[in-house]
């Protein structure tokens, strides 16, 4: 069994109004030292190795569903879980 941790965030050219709203709220709480907030998505996917290598499969999942590559980028870490 493998554990894939997938992080999806907006590309730099994309506005992130939700991140900005959180940024403003942190400032209102007094954390004026906060420079920026990026609000993204985090997935934990547990899977067993299929026909193709786990990494290739997770990559494909990101391209096809987890991220919209028009406006988002993704990265992931894959670890083998102890049985």
28 binds other proteins (CB under 8 A): no
| Minimum distance from residue 46 beta carbon to other proteins (Å) | 18
Please enumerate in sequence order all residues whose Cβ is within 8 A of that of 71, keeping only pairs 6 or more positions apart, or say none: 10, 11, 14
1 and 79 Cβ atoms separated by less than 8 Å: no
Q: Least distance in Å: CB of 68 to other proteins?
A: 5
Site membership for other proteins, residue 20 (CB under 8 A): yes
| Spatial contact of 6 and 59, defined as CB atoms under 8 Å apart | no
Q: Which residues are at the interface with other proteins (CB under 8 A)?
A: 10, 13-18, 20-21, 41, 65-66, 68, 70-71
């Amino acid at each position: 069994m493998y554990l894939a941790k997938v992080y999806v965030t907006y590309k730099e050219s994309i506005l992130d109004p939700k991140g900005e709203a959180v940024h403003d709220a942190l400032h209102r709480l007094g954390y004026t030292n906060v420079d920026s907030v990026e609000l993204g998505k985090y997935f934990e996917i547990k899977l067993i190795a299929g026909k193709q290598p786990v990494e290739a499969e997770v990559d494909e999942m990101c391209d096809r569903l987890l991220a919209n590559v028009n406006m988002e980028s993704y990265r992931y870490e894959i670890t083998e879980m102890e049985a």
